[in-house]
A and B are shown apart, each in its own frame.
Chain A
Amino acid sequence: MKPIKSQTGIGKWLPRKFDDVKAAGTLQFTDDLRFGPELLHAAVVRSPIAHGEILSIDFSQALEVAGVVKVLVGEDFPHHFGLYLQDRTPMAIGRVRYVGEPVALVVAQEENIAREAAKKVQVQYRELEAVFDPVKAATHSGVLVHPELHTYNHVDFVLPQPHTNIGNWFKIRKGNPEEAFENAAHVFEEVVTCPQIAHGFLETHCSICQQDIASGEITIWTSSQSAFTVRDIIAKGIGFPLHKIRVIAPPIGGGFGGKAGMTIEALGLAAAMHPEIRGRPVKLFIPREEDMLTSWVRQGYVARIRMALDEQHRITGIHNTFWFDTGVSAEYGANPVRSAGYTSMGSYNIPNVWSDCYAVYTNKPFGGAYRGFGLPELMSALEVVVDIVSHRLGISPVEFRKKNMMRKGDTTCTGMPMHDHGLQAIIDRVAKDIAVEKKEPALRPGWKRGKGIALAIKAPAMPADASSSAIVKLNGDGTVEVLAATMDMGQGTYTAYAQMVSEELSIPYEKIQVSFPDTKSHPYDWQTVASRSCWSMGMAVKRAAVDVRNQLLALFSEFWQTPVDTITLEYGTVMCRKLGKTSAIDEKVQNGFKMPDGMLKGGPIIGRGSFIPPDIVYPDPDTGQSPKSVVHFTLGAVGMDLEVDPTTGAIAINRVSSGYDVGKAITPANLRGQIEGGTLQGISACLMEGLAYDEKGKLLTPDFTDYKIATTLDTPGEIISFWEEVPEELSPYGNRGVGEHSMIAPAPAINNAVFNATGSRIHSYPLSRERVFKALKAQRNGENDFVEWPYALDVAFKKAKKKWD
Chain B
Amino acid sequence: MHDFLLERPDTLRAAHDLLQRYGTKAMLKAGGTDLLIWIKRGVVLPECLVDLSLIPLLQELSLSEAEMCIGAGVSVARFLSAEAISTHFPALVDACNSHSDPLVRNRATVVGNVCSAVPSGDLIAPLFAYDTQLEIHGPTGSRSCGIDEFITGPRKTTLQPGEIVTCLHVPLPKPPSSGSYQKAMRREALDIAQAGVCCVFSGKAQEPAGRKVRLTFSAVSAKPVRALKAEHILEQANQLDESMLQEVAILARQAVAPITDVRASSEYRLDMVAELTRRAVRACFAERGEA
Contact = CB atoms under 8 A, between A and B. Distances in A.
Direct contact of A and B (CB under 8 A): yes
Interface of A: 112, 115-116, 119, 647-648, 687-688, 692, 700-701, 705-706, 708, 710-714, 768-770, 773-774, 777
Given A692-B262, A774-B268, A768 B186 contact: yes
Contacts of A115: 1
Contact of A705 (B3, B192, B194): B192
Nearest to B279: A647
A359 B190 CA distance: 36
Given A112-B1, A116-B2, A119-B42, A713 B188 contact: yes
B189 A714 contact: yes
B47 interface: no
B231 interface: no
B186 A769 contact: yes
B268 A647 contact: no
B187 A711 contact: yes
A708 B186 contact: yes
Given A112-B1, A112-B3, 7 more contacts: A711-B187, A713-B187, A713-B189, A714-B189, A769-B186, A770-B194, A777-B271
Interface of B: 1-3, 42, 184, 186-192, 194, 261-265, 268, 271-272, 275
Task: Say what secondary structure dominates the interface of chain B.
Answer: loop
B130 to A, nearest CB: 26
B184 A701 contact: no
A116 B2 CA distance: 7
A112 B189 CA distance: 31
A804 to B, nearest CB: 26
A701 B191 CA distance: 13
Contacts of A647: 275
8 contacts: A112-B3, A116-B2, A705-B192, A710-B187, A713-B188, A769-B184, A770-B265, A777-B271
Contacts of A706: 262-263
Nearest to A705: B192
Contacts, number: 45
B122 to A, nearest CB: 15
A688 B262 contact: no
B288 to A, nearest CB: 20
A112 B40 CA distance: 11
Contacts of B263: 706
A752 B135 CA distance: 55
A770 B42 contact: no
A648 B276 CA distance: 9
A580 to B, nearest CB: 64
Contacts of B191: 708
A773 B268 contact: yes
Nearest to A116: B2
A712 B189 contact: yes
A648 B186 contact: no
A705 B263 CA distance: 10
Nearest to B195: A648
Nearest to B3: A112
B239 to A, nearest CB: 20
Contact of B268 (A708, A711, A770): A770
Contacts of A713: 187-189
Contacts of B3: 112
Contacts of A688: 186-187
Q: Closest 9 CB pairs between A and B?
A: A713-B188, A700-B262, A713-B189, A711-B189, A770-B268, A647-B275, A692-B262, A714-B188, A708-B186
A112 B4 CA distance: 13
Nearest to A709: B187
Contacts of A710: 187
Given A711-B189, A713-B189, A648 B184 contact: yes
Nearest to A700: B262
Contact of B264 (A116, A711, A770, A777): A770
A769 B184 CA distance: 9
Nearest to A713: B188
Nearest to A646: B275
Contacts of A701: 262
B139 to A, nearest CB: 33
B231 to A, nearest CB: 22
Contacts of B2: 116
Nearest to B269: A770
Given A648-B272, A648-B275, A774-B268, A708 B187 contact: yes
B12 to A, nearest CB: 33
Most chain A Cβ neighbours within 10 Å, of B3, B261, B265, B268: B268
Nearest to A766: B186
Nearest to A112: B1
A616 to B, nearest CB: 42
A774 B192 CA distance: 20
Contacts of B265: 770
B44 to A, nearest CB: 15
Nearest to B184: A648
Nearest to A652: B188
A711 B190 contact: yes
Nearest to A287: B40
Nearest to B271: A773
A115 B271 CA distance: 42
Most chain B Cβ neighbours within 10 Å, of A116, A705, A712: A705
Contacts of B186: 688, 708, 768-769
Contacts of A769: 184, 186
